[in-house]
Amino acid sequence: MKKKKKINKNPLIAAILNFLFPGLGFVYLSTPEFVILGSILFFADLILSIMFITVPLFWLVNFCLSFFWAILGYISAEYVNQKTR
């Protein structure tokens, strides 16, 4: 019986992806719960961005939230790496 080799996910890549495209850092982690969360977040952000494209305050709030998503992506990657050990 062959064991699958677990590949650690790079927390920095997850953080950068979540900062640039909210949700894609979670999809990068490749666990079912994070893929679902990331997909919902990505499409929600995309739809809201299209709806409020002319509202500068939305863009400011979205930019600030990007830092939060980046930190959460980093922490989530650390969690996934610890869980797979």
Return the structure tokens found at 62: 């979205």
DSSP per-residue string spanning 49-67 = HHHTTT-HHHHHHHHHHHH
Q: What is the span of the domain harbouring residue 45?
A: 13-83
> What string of pLDDT tens digits covers the 85 residues of the chain?
555 567 899 999 999 999 999 999 999 999 999 999 999 999 999 999 999 989 999 989 999 999 999 999 999 999 999 988 7
Domain membership flag for residue 2: no
Domain membership flag for residue 61: yes
The model's pTM is 0.87
Burial 15-48 (b: 16+ CB within 10 A, else e): bbbbbebbbbbbbbbebeebeebbeebbeebeee
Looking at the structure of the chain, the number of domains it has is 1
